[in-house]
């Protein structure tokens, strides 16, 4: 594939930040499957890790664990999401729950609930919706700068508990297809609306920052994006008086390079540092733009990574 070359070895940038005392926790959400949540969760987590952030990726898609298999594991822990949520693992023993990927600085909690037992367990547990939020307060997780949580494309208690674990915002992923945008505004916003009563108990719902994925330079895609932009800007979505939704400036283009990462087990930013395309940035530039927009306090680290890798490629 043109421009798809992997640089080896891929050393992470030297950490040049230490502003946060607690991890930033970002759920990646959509009630519709196939929007690219797992792909972009993995790409964002790996970009952050390569920039020097200590990063944890949690595969919260409890029955179809895509994020768990994106990158090769140097160490696979015996426990995963199931044990984390059922309180059956000792978090004082990190090796029992934290798997280590082949990307330095990126750890993983695998999804290991193929029979979908967690949905029932969390529905029956009195603290089910708060379980992940509370577990991530354990000192084990204070070692991380960033925790990204992938989710399943369905409306369920699992999506609710993942949403409630956010520290500031959730990342919503939508393809610029009219039925998909409608489902997001109906399904995802609907899930959040059901959680609004919790605010009476001091639990603040996260803002949702929406990432357009697989953007193609077609009239139909541009029209769909313009329609969604108007809905968000004029707050014409359900419960707009209580829920905060906004559209990110960064868009992920519809390119083969993002599929290539799955094929070779590498994040997209490692595969493409430059491009001759006039209508879209390289994968590295796109992920850099996304990371800087989401986490401006780490811009210096992201700039350093991009500059170092482009210089190395030359």
Q: Are 81 and 112 in contact (CB under 8 A)?
A: yes
Largest CA distance in the chain: 57
Residues 148-167 have a mean pLDDT of 96
CA–CA separation, 40 and 216 (whole Å): 17
Residue 2 has pLDDT above 70, yes or no: no
pLDDT of residue 251: 97
Mean pLDDT (the chain, rounded): 91
Residue 20 has pLDDT above 60, yes or no: no
Handedness of CA 38, 44, 46, 48 (dihedral sign): negative
CA nearest to 25, candidates 169, 161, 151? 169
What pTM does this model have? 0.92
Q: How many helices (H) and strands (E) does the chain have?
A: 12, 9
Residues 180-187 have a mean pLDDT of 95
Split at pLDDT 50, 70, 90, the class of 313 is: low
Split at pLDDT 50, 70, 90, the class of 311 is: confident
pLDDT of residue 108: 98
Share of the chain above pLDDT 90, in %: 82
Q: Where are the beta strands (DSSP E) in 76-231?
A: 99-101, 106-109, 146-151, 169-174, 207-215
> What is the per-residue pLDDT across 276-289, written as a single tens digit (0 to 9) for each?
777 789 999 999 99
Residue 87 has pLDDT above 60, yes or no: yes
Kindly state the tokens that stand for 28.
């990646």
Handedness of CA 21, 76, 261, 252 (dihedral sign): negative
Split at pLDDT 50, 70, 90, the class of 312 is: confident
């Amino acid at each position: 594939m043109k421009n798809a070359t992997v640089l080896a070895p891929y050393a992470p940038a030297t950490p040049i930040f230490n502003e946060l005392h607690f991890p930033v926790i970002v759920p990646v959400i959509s009630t519709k499957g196939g929007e690219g949540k797992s792909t972009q969760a993995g790409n964002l987590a790996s970009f952050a890790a390569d920039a020097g952030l200590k990063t944890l990726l949690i595969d919260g898609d409890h029955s179809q664990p895509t994020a768990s298999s994106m990158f090769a594991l140097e160490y696979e822990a015996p426990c995963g999401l199931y044990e984390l949520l059922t309180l059956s693992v000792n978090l004082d023993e990190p090796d029992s729950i934290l798997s280590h990927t082949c990307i330095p600085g990126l750890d993983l909690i695998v999804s290991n609930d193929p029979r979908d037992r967690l949905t029932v367990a969390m529905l029956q547990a009195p603290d089910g919706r708060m379980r992940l939020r509370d577990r991530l307060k354990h000192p084990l997780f204070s070692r991380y700068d960033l925790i990204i949580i992938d989710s399943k494309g369905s409306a369920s208690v699992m999506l609710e508990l993942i949403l409630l674990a956010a520290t500031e915002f959730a990342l919503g992923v939508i393809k610029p297809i009219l039925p998909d945008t409608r489902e997001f505004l109906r399904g995802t916003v609907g899930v959040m609306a059901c959680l609004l009563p919790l605010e009476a108990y001091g639990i603040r719902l996260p803002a949702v920052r929406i990432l357009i994925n697989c953007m193609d330079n077609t009239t139909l895609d541009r029209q769909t994006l313009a329609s969604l932009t108007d809905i968000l800007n004029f707050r014409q979505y359900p419960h707009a008086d209580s829920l905060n939704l906004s559209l990110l400036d960064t868009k992920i283009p519809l390119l083969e390079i993002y599929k290539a990462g799955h094929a070779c087990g590498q994040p997209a930013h490692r595969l493409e540092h430059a491009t001759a395309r006039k209508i879209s940035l390289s994968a590295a530039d796109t992920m850099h733009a996304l990371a800087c927009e989401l986490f401006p306090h780490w811009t210096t680290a992201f700039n350093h990574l991009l500059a170092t890798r482009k210089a190395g490629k030359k």
